[in-house]
């Protein structure tokens, strides 16, 4: 576990560097969301979660379910830096035969817990795993990362209603609230507000944080684990975080940077 926030911030920045390199090398991918979620992935893998890279199926490990699978470059980079596989393999992102697919594939890479791609499915998977852990009297926590887009899907709201009704207190849903989607701002396409009040109405506890501030992410997770009902952490995140020409821009939701743009991005991230 890394406790020093400055060290964690340096790790997150290194993950962002890898994200730009990975997506540029692949020629496709989702840089805005991946850059934005890097702080959450850093907090989870290097401070919050109980896990062992040498024993990825350790029974007492905390589970991480990534529902918005398109931001998987951030997760892959965090896993590589945590020791799950060699860092050089990151350049295999989106290549045929690689375990690092453009959306996570459990059959190719079992250490990721579940496949994801279509939005709206994985909160239900997280609930199933949380219930199974309770049945086994396993103290592990299930962390699920969902997106704005997940909350446009009806299945997500069915899952939220079910979890609140069952008071599933070993489930923490970290919402990647970056306010953009493929074709624009969420407020103009499918408004989600009042998001906090909606969760409260379904008998969840809600914590609102700056999702690009690692200290807030860690404190929120520590607080959430003490609450006797499911917890939604609404993490307000800047998409494209760290790269000025990508920050807050929906056009970078699913577009790889060209060589010159990647060089500019890396210059900003390494200064």
Query: The domain containing residue 91 runs over which residues?
Result: 5-270
Rounded-to-integer distance, Cα 201 and Cα 203, Å: 5
Per-residue pLDDT of the chain (271 residues; tens, 9 = 90+): 999 999 999 999 999 999 999 999 999 999 999 999 999 999 999 999 999 999 999 999 999 999 999 999 999 999 999 999 999 999 999 999 999 999 999 999 999 999 998 899 999 999 999 999 999 999 999 999 999 999 999 999 999 999 999 999 999 999 999 999 888 899 999 999 999 999 999 999 999 999 999 999 999 999 999 999 999 999 999 999 999 999 999 999 999 999 999 999 999 999 8
Surface-to-core class of residue 145, CB atoms within 10 Å of its CB (0-12 exposed, 13-18 middle, 19+ buried): buried
User: Per DSSP, which regions of the chain are E strands?
Assistant: 63-66, 142-147, 171-177, 180-181, 184-185, 205-210, 231-236
Hey, how many other C-beta atoms are within 10 angstroms of the C-beta on 157? 16
The sign one gets for the Cα dihedral 121, 127, 129, 135 is negative
∠ Cα 127 132 134 (to 5°): 95
In contact, 53 and 143? CB cutoff 8 Å: no
∠ Cα 57 62 67 (to 5°): 95
Beta pairing class for 171-177 and 231-236: parallel
Give 3-state DSSP helix, strand, coil % of the chain, rounded to 5. Answer: 50, 10, 40
Structural domains of the chain, count: 1
pTM of the full structure: 0.97
Helix/strand/coil for 210: strand
Rounded-to-integer distance, Cα 213 and Cα 211, Å: 5
Rounded-to-integer distance, Cα 180 and Cα 252, Å: 10
Q: Check residue 271 and give its pLDDT.
A: 84
Helix/strand/coil for 35: helix
In contact, 67 and 145? CB cutoff 8 Å: yes
Length of the chain: 271
In contact, 31 and 21? CB cutoff 8 Å: no
Q: What is the CATH number of the domain that holds 164?
A: 3.40.50.970
List, for residues 39-70, the tens digit of each pLDDT value: 999 999 999 999 999 999 999 999 999 999 99
The 8-class DSSP code of residue 119 comes to T
DSSP string, 230-271: -EEEEEE--TTTT-TTTTT-GGGSS-PPPHHHHHHHHHHHH-
The sign one gets for the Cα dihedral 155, 156, 157, 160 is positive
């Amino acid at each position: 576990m890394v406790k020093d926030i400055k060290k964690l911030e340096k790790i997150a920045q290194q993950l962002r560097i890898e994200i730009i390199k990975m997506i540029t090398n692949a020629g496709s991918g989702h840089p805005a969301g991946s850059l934005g979620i890097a702080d959450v992935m850093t907090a989870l893998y290097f401070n919050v979660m109980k896990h062992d890279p040498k024993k990825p199926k350790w029974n007492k490990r905390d589970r991480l379910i990534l529902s918005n699978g398109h931001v998987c470059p951030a997760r892959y980079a965090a896993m590589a830096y945590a020791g799950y596989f060699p860092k050089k393999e990151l350049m295999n992102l989106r290549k045929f035969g690689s375990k690092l697919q453009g959306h996570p594939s459990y059959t190719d890479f079992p250490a990721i817990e579940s496949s994801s791609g279509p939005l709206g499915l994985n909160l239900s998977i997280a609930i199933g795993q949380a219930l199974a852990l309770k049945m086994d009297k396993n103290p592990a926590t299930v962390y699920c990362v969902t997106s704005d887009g997940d909350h446009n899907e009806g299945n997500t709201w069915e899952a939220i209603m079910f979890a609140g009704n069952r008071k599933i207190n070993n489930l923490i849903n970290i919402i990647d609230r970056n306010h953009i989607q493929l074709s624009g701002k969420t407020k103009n396409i499918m408004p989600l507000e009042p998001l906090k009040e909606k969760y409260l109405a379904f008998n969840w506890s809600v914590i609102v944080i700056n999702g690009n501030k690692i200290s807030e992410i860690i404190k929120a997770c520590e607080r959430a684990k003490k609450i006797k009902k499911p917890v939604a952490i609404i993490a307000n995140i800047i998409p494209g975080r760290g790269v000025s020409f990508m920050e807050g821009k929906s056009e970078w939701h699913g577009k790889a940077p060209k060589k010159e743009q990647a060089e500019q991005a890396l210059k900003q991230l390494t200064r």
